[in-house]
């Protein structure tokens, strides 16, 4: 016990660097970043996870800690950036789902209707919130929160704390990769919304034909309820498809995290 305590006190700076990476992930990662997860609880959880990983680390693999304040601050900042980026990549999964819901809402005529998100307390698209809740439920059932912790542990194995300073070339590669992820997220959102968008476009075409063949029909009175009804029906029909798509999205997210870590490993 005394050995563990002395080891802890001697290498407190290493534990601090590990804790900053853990805290960075918790700030951005799904579930952990919700206001319902108290900030004090986040700090305590980050300390507990960092301490667990620190004690599991063999003493021979302890990195050299910068002795001057400037380089130590740079190292701490790098750890925060690594943690924030990993958490952000996981968060992009739900950003794609929410964006897909927003596309669907605009097409169904719900663009001006927002509902309160119970997780964030903000106004969000109605269909986006519905799909996000399905995604969060499936994420928890699939042990996604444990997967985040596993990815965190793997990140310390691949990129030990105190890894050399980020070069300008590495920073540019990371920035380019983040832009690529933004584009991919938008395309994934469009793919998720495409079935409903296609159905509503076909409905619009049918309504246009009806308006030309039956001029006395008030298309505005008939069209909006019909589009909403058709959209909701096909959304209900496609729920199994969306649930199945979550497996694909989780795999993409893990691949994106691995891609980010590999960029740093190759420096």
Q: Coil, strand, or helix at residue 168?
A: helix
Task: Give residues with Cβ within 8 angstroms of 115, minimum separation 6.
Answer: 123, 124, 125, 126, 129
CA dist 94 and 188 (Å) reads 11
Residues of the chain below pLDDT 70: 1-11, 59-63, 65-66, 111-122, 164-165, 267
- DSSP notation for 4-66: HHHHHHHTHHHHHHHHHHHHHHHHHSTTTTSTTS-HHHHHHHHHHHHHHHHHHS-GGGPPPPP
pLDDT at 26: 87
C-alpha distances in angstroms, 261 versus 49, 143, 219, 257, 264? 20, 22, 54, 6, 5
Which structural domain range is residue 207 located in?
2-265
pLDDT at 179: 92
**CA proximity to 246, closest of 192, 171, 169:** 192
Q: What's the predicted TM-score (pTM) here?
A: 0.84
pLDDT at 105: 83
Total domains in the fold of the chain: 1
CA dist 260 and 144 (Å) reads 19
Looking at residue 60, the DSSP 8-state letter turns out to be: G
CA dist 200 and 235 (Å) reads 11
pLDDT at 181: 92
**Of all helices (H) and strands (E), which one includes residue 188?**
helix 168-213
CA dist 195 and 16 (Å) reads 48
**CA proximity to 31, closest of 118, 136, 131:** 136
For residue range 246-262, what is the model confidence (pLDDT) as tens digits?
888 888 988 998 888 88
């Amino acid at each position: 016990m005394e050995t563990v305590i002395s080891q802890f006190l001697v290498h407190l700076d290493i534990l601090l660097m590990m804790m900053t990476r853990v805290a960075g992930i918790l700030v951005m990662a799904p579930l952990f970043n919700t206001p319902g997860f108290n900030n004090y609880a986040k700090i305590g959880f980050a300390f507990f996870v960092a301490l667990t990983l620190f004690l599991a680390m063999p003493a021979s693999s302890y990195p050299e800690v910068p002795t001057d304040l400037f380089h130590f601050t740079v190292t701490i900042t790098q750890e925060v950036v690594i943690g924030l980026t990993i958490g952000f990549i996981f968060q992009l999964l739900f950003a794609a789902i929410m964006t897909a819901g927003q596309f669907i809402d605009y097409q169904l005529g719900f663009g001006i209707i927002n509902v309160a998100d119970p997780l964030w307390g903000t106004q969000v698209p109605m269909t986006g919130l519905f799909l996000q809740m399905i995604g969060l439920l499936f994420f928890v059932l699939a042990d996604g929160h444990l997967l985040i912790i596993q990815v965190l542990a793997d990140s310390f194995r691949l990129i030990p704390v105190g890894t050399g300073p980020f070069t300008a070339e590495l920073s540019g590669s990371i920035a380019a990769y983040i832009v690529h992820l933004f584009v991919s997220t938008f395309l994934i959102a469009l793919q998720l919304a495409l079935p409903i968008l296609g159905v509503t476009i076909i409905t619009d075409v049918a309504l246009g034909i009806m308006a030309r063949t039956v001029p006395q029909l008030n298309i505005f009175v008939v069209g909006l309820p019909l589009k909403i009804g058709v959209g909701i029906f096909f959304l209900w029909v496609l729920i199994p498809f969306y649930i199945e798509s979550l497996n694909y999205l989780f795999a993409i997210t893990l691949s994106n995290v691995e891609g980010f870590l590999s960029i740093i490993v190759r420096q």
